[in-house]
Amino acid sequence: MTATLQSPPASGLGRHLLGIDGMSRSDLEEILDLTDTFAEIGRRPIPKVPALRGRTVATAFFENSTRTRMSFETAARRLSADTVAFSAGSSSLSKGESLRDTVEVVASYGADLLVVRHAMAGTAHRVADWTDLSVVNAGDGCHEHPTQALLDCYTLREQRGSLDGMRIAIVGDVRHSRVARSNILAFTALGAEVVLVAPATLLPPAIDGWPVTVFHELDPLLTDLDAVYLLRMQQERITEGLIPSLREYANDFGLSADRVARMRSDALVLHPGPTNRGVEISAEAAADPRSVILDQVVNGVSVRMAVLFRLLGSGQQLVAADIEPVGDDARPEGADR
Ligand code: NCD
């Protein structure tokens, strides 16, 4: 399947978060600003607030996930929302009726918002058409992964203050990456320049019109980048021989110890996880002080708290009561009773 940056239709930031496509710079900045508040809550001894008490967040993951799912569930719990989880092996459900049945069942448990991940591009948009729930896209095939892009932007902004003028290379399997699509839109909307670095076989066939420049070699660029964003080879979506071997790919495009040593001292290394050490990233690059991979994971919870609050909160404004510590739960251990 060839996904384009334009399809399915634009999403914006209304009742749902379906994609970065359709979101303006100010939509993105609104979420990033709200994330600052939730990041502060995450640093408290007991990081839990009543903002979404009485609301239910459901997760329906038709594709495997470790960090995205845990991150949404942690975000919901920190906001005092109830959670309902549905998971399916990717093979056991057909994509038509059974998906719709599942959504109806989840809705019948009284959920207010559904976080959905599916191997088929456009699934979150279809689900949003079928239900009255708010829908958050946690990844639809090769199409979009908007909360990943938001947490990546937040991480870059946290490190640099702003993405304006940054030169960011997205390296690897762009063709099968929903993360790349969402990030190209988000990084450029926030004023960064995006460079794609990949062999021609790992670029989407229809790349004309994308706001990027393309290179087929990483080495000549290394000293001229503010950030390198590495992508995993999406083996689960690769059905043909697109590279000679993983070893050759690693030789040409992997961020080896030698390559990371040649990067600027203030450059950043990002990866959405899961990482394949020795393929797109070496153990040395992942552990380098310029790597912000763990910051991305931490920021993922804060960004998802902001998204859930923005879609489900009582109003658009956070009020003091939303973020005060939660009753007895909030007593630090050993506090007087
Ligand atoms: C990404 C995904 O699922 O698209 N992972 C994630 O959400 N943390 C990237 C990947 O799987 O390579």
pLDDT tens per residue across span 108-148: 889 999 999 999 999 999 999 999 999 999 999 999 999 99
Specify the pTM. 0.92
Residues 134 and 186 reside in one and the same domain: no
Residues 252 and 127 reside in one and the same domain: no
Domain residues for 106? 25-143+297-321
Residues 211 and 269 reside in one and the same domain: yes
Kindly state whether residue 271 falls inside one of the protein's structural domains: yes
Residues 308 and 202 reside in one and the same domain: no
**For a pocket test of ligand 1, which of 145, 202, 237, 293 has the largest count of ligand atoms closer than 8 A to its C-beta?**
145
Total domains in the chain come to 2
Kindly state whether residue 337 falls inside one of the protein's structural domains: no
What are the pLDDT digits (tens) for 225-272?
999 999 998 877 776 778 888 899 999 999 999 999 999 999 999 999
| Spacing, Cα 272 to ligand 1 middle (Å) | 6
Residues 161 and 139 reside in one and the same domain: no
Residues 59 and 151 reside in one and the same domain: no
Q: Whose CA is nearest to atom 1 of ligand 1?
A: 272
Residues 154 and 284 reside in one and the same domain: yes
Kindly state whether residue 333 falls inside one of the protein's structural domains: no
Residues with CB under 6 A from ligand 1: 67-68, 139, 145, 148, 178-179, 232, 272-273
| Spacing, Cα 209 to ligand 1 middle (Å) | 25
Q: Whose CA is nearest to atom 7 of ligand 1?
A: 68
269-284 burial, b at 16+ Cβ within 10 Å, e below that, comes to: bbbbbebeeebbbbeb
Residues 93 and 172 reside in one and the same domain: no
Kindly state whether residue 327 falls inside one of the protein's structural domains: no
| Range in 78-82, 98-102, 182-186, 224-228 with the lowest mean pLDDT | 98-102
As a three-state string, the secondary structure of the chain is: CCCCCCCCCCCCCCCCECCCCCCCHHHHHHHHHHHHHHHHHHCCCCCCCCCCCCCEEEEEECCCCCHHHHHHHHHHHHCCCEEEEEECCCCCCCCCHHHHHHHHHHHHCCCCEEEEEECCCCHHHHHHHHCCCEEEEEEECCCECHHHHHHHHHHHHHHHCCCCCCEEEEECCHHHCHHHHHHHHHHHHCCCEEEEECCHHHCCCCCCCCCEEEECCCHHHHHHCCEEEECCCCHHHCCCCCCCCHHHHHHHHCECHHHHHHCCCCCEEECCCCCCECCCECHHHHHCCCECHHHHHHHHHHHHHHHHHHHHCCCCCCCHHHHCCCCHHHCCCCCCC
**For a pocket test of ligand 1, which of 148, 178, 181, 276 has the largest count of ligand atoms closer than 8 A to its C-beta?**
148
Residues 155 and 245 reside in one and the same domain: yes
Kindly state whether residue 220 falls inside one of the protein's structural domains: yes
Q: Whose CA is nearest to atom 12 of ligand 1?
A: 232
Residues 263 and 310 reside in one and the same domain: no
Ligand 1 atom nearest to 273, measured from its CA: 8
Average pLDDT over residues 280-285: 97
Residues 232 and 254 reside in one and the same domain: yes
- The CATH number of the domain where 102 resides is what? 3.40.50.1370
Q: Assign 328 a pLDDT band (cuts: 50, 70, 90).
A: low
Residues 121 and 235 reside in one and the same domain: no
Check: CB of residue 117 under 8 Å from CB of residue 236: no
